[in-house]
């Protein structure tokens, strides 16, 4: 039986992890003749489950690239797959190195705008160099947006012939089913929702500032976990809005909350293909997003990244400049007007129809097999 190994750091809560679980779940149904393996590099609590048909291998690399190479290579030798598919930078670099030594076809998926993701410090420079030296040696690179593809080609020397742009698979039917479930708690209106890991790149600090500036009397609810939670809670307190901000943690079903929201906000400094935007659009929730490189402009206006300097109305939502609390506050205030809700929600829903699950999975499988 043909074997394919999938590799990711963990299945902890996050967009890439959710998409990995979704991809494996679908492939287990559509490709029953393939033996699917999942290699998890780190030991972390699992937020997502994969089907029992998928053989899971747990490593303990402690988040280390150097410590991870030997056990990962040995695991790949044990599995003996025909193809290895990896998500996220560390998994990608490990996969490229091991696959080249073992003669295994290597497919990597880049899920963030690489240039904006690497910090401007020593560790960021090391990661940038490692990416530059390794990515061009993958057999196939899946970029989840055209902005990422452009960045990889122009700044990291990846041949255009090796890059395929495939958006994330979005299960609209599942999202709408879960979104129709009753929300567990009631919140003061308007309800503004953000979702993501509580890490610097998601810039929830700016969202808190924008909410404070907007003067909205309702609720800002942030779903997600991460190392900045205490710092963000202190920030909300200093801004005088802690009584109107809810840190809801990770929720297995965020969609009932998003469906009930008056506005879904993405405040990131950098993204690849922000799943949350499309998922909120599937629920007909009005959208405000920063115009970070790779993703939002393509999702909300059907075109590659373009420069903006203020609040910008798009086909399916509103874009604002990155790290601009004043513009974000203006966009939120405009979006939550009761007179705007139905029309903006209908536009968002119309935009979501461009992201189909079956066609996207078929494109992933074609890239994986090289057919």
pLDDT of residue 116: 66
The answer, yes or no, to whether residue 130 has pLDDT greater than 90, is no
pLDDT of residue 264: 98
Q: What is the mean pLDDT of residues 300-314?
A: 93
Out of 8-12, 65-69, 357-361, pick the least confident: 357-361
Residue with tokens 């690239």: 65
pLDDT of residue 196: 93
The answer, yes or no, to whether residue 24 has pLDDT greater than 70, is yes
pLDDT of residue 286: 98
Bridge pairing between strands 191-195 and 105-110: unpaired
Residues near 41 by beta carbon (within 8 Å), at least 6 away in sequence: 7, 8, 9, 10, 59, 61, 68, 72, 90, 91, 94
Out of 24-28, 166-170, 205-209, pick the least confident: 166-170
pLDDT digits (tens, 9 = 90+) for 51-64: 999 999 999 999 88
Bridge pairing between strands 263-266 and 105-110: unpaired
Torsions phi, psi for 360 (to 5 deg):
-70, -45
Q: How many Cα atoms occupy the beta-carbon half-sphere of 303 within 13 Å? A: 6
Q: What is the mean pLDDT of residues 37-48?
A: 94
Torsions phi, psi for 128 (to 5 deg):
-65, -45
pLDDT digits (tens, 9 = 90+) for 81-102: 999 999 998 999 999 999 999 9
The answer, yes or no, to whether residue 180 has pLDDT greater than 80, is yes
CA distances from 236 to 4, 209, 224 (A): 46, 8, 16
Specify which of 72-76, 133-137, 165-169, 247-251 reaches the highest per-range mean pLDDT.
72-76
pLDDT of residue 127: 75
Q: Which domains does the chain have, with CATH numbers?
A: 3-169+356-369 (3.40.50.2000), 172-352 (3.40.50.2000)
Three-state SS for the chain is CCEEEEEECCCCCCHHHHHHHHHHHHHHHHCCCCEEEEEECCCCCCCCCCCCCCEEEECCCCCCHHHHHHHHHHHHHHHCCCEEEEECHHHHHHHHHHHHHHCCEEEEEECECHHHHCCCCHHHHHHHHHHHHHHHHCCEEEECCHHHHHHHHHHHCCCHHHEEECCCCCCHHHHHHHHCCCCCCCCCCCEEEEECCCCHHHCHHHHHHHHHHHCCCCEEEEEECCCCHHHHHHHHHHCCCHHHEEEEECCCCCHHHHHHCCEEEECCCCCECCHHHHHHHHCCCCEEEECCCCCHHHHHHCCCCCCCCCCEECCCCEEECCCCHHHHHHHHHHHCCCCCHHHHHHHHHHHHCCCCHHHHHHHHHHHHHCC
Closest by CA position to 65, among listed 86, 84, 85: 86
The answer, yes or no, to whether residue 171 has pLDDT greater than 70, is yes
The answer, yes or no, to whether residue 120 has pLDDT greater than 80, is no
Quickly state the pLDDT bin for 119 (edges 50, 70, 90): low
Where is pLDDT greater, at 178 or 167? 178
Q: What is the mean pLDDT of residues 218-229?
A: 96
Gap between the Cα atoms of 63 and 45, Å rounded: 14
Q: What is the mean pLDDT of residues 158-171?
A: 91
The answer, yes or no, to whether residue 118 has pLDDT greater than 70, is no
The answer, yes or no, to whether residue 117 has pLDDT greater than 70, is no
pLDDT of residue 124: 67
Residues near 317 by beta carbon (within 8 Å), at least 6 away in sequence: 277, 281, 286, 287, 288, 289, 300, 344, 347, 348, 351
Quickly state the pLDDT bin for 216 (edges 50, 70, 90): confident
Where is pLDDT greater, at 343 or 275? 343
Helix axes 122-134, 146-156, angle to 10 degrees: 90
Helix axes 89-102, 122-134, angle to 10 degrees: 40
* % of residues, the chain, pLDDT over 70: 97
The answer, yes or no, to whether residue 13 has pLDDT greater than 80, is no
CA distances from 368 to 22, 96, 254, 296, 362 (A): 16, 14, 30, 26, 10
pLDDT of residue 131: 84
Where is pLDDT greater, at 45 or 286? 286
The answer, yes or no, to whether residue 293 has pLDDT greater than 70, is yes
Stated pTM of the model: 0.76
pLDDT of residue 146: 85
Specify which of 177-186, 209-218, 229-238 reaches the highest per-range mean pLDDT.
229-238
* % of residues, the chain, pLDDT over 90: 73
């Amino acid at each position: 039986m043909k074997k394919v190994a999938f590799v990711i750091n963990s299945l902890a809560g996050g967009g890439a992890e959710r998409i990995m679980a979704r991809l494996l779940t679908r492939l287990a149904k559509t490709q029953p003749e393939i033996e699917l393996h999942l290699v998890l590099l780190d030991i972390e609590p699992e937020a997502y489950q994969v089907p029992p048909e998928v053989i899971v291998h747990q490593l303990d690399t402690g988040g280390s690239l150097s410590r991870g190479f030997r056990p990962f290579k040995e695991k790949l030798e044990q599995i003996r797959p025909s193809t290895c598919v990896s998500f996220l930078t560390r998994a990608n670099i490990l996969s490229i190195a091991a696959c080249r030594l073992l003669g295994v076809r290597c497919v990597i998926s880049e899920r963030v705008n690489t240039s904006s993701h690497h910090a401007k410090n020593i560790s960021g420079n090391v990661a940038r160099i490692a990416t530059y030296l390794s990515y061009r040696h993958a057999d196939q690179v899946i970029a989840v947006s055209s902005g990422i593809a452009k960045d990889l080609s122009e700044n990291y020397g990846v041949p255009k012939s090796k890059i395929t742009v495939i958006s994330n698979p979005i299960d609209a039917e599942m999202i709408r089913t879960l979104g129709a479930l009753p929300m567990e708690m009631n919140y003061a209106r308007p309800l503004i929702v953000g979702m993501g890991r509580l890490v610097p790149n998601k810039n929830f600090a700016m969202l808190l500032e924008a909410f404070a500036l907007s003067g909205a009397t309702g609720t800002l609810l942030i779903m997600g976990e991460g190392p900045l939670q205490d710092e963000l809670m202190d920030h909300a307190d200093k801004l005088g809005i802690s009584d109107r901000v809810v840190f809801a943690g990770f929720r297995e079903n965020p969609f009932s909350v998003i469906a009930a929201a008056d506005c879904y906000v993405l405040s990131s400094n950098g993204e690849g293909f922000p799943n949350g935007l499309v998922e909120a659009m599937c629920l007909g929730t009005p959208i405000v997003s920063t115009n970070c490189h790779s993703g939002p402009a393509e999702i909300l206006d059907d075109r590659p990244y373009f420069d903006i300097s203020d609040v910008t109305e798009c086909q399916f939502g509103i874009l604002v400049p990155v790290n601009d609390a004043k513009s974000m506050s203006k966009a939120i205030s405009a979006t939550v007007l009761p007179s705007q809700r139905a029309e903006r929600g209908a536009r968002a829903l119309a935009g979501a129809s461009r992201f189909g699950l079956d066609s996207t999975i078929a494109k992933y499988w074609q890239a994986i097999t090289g057919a």
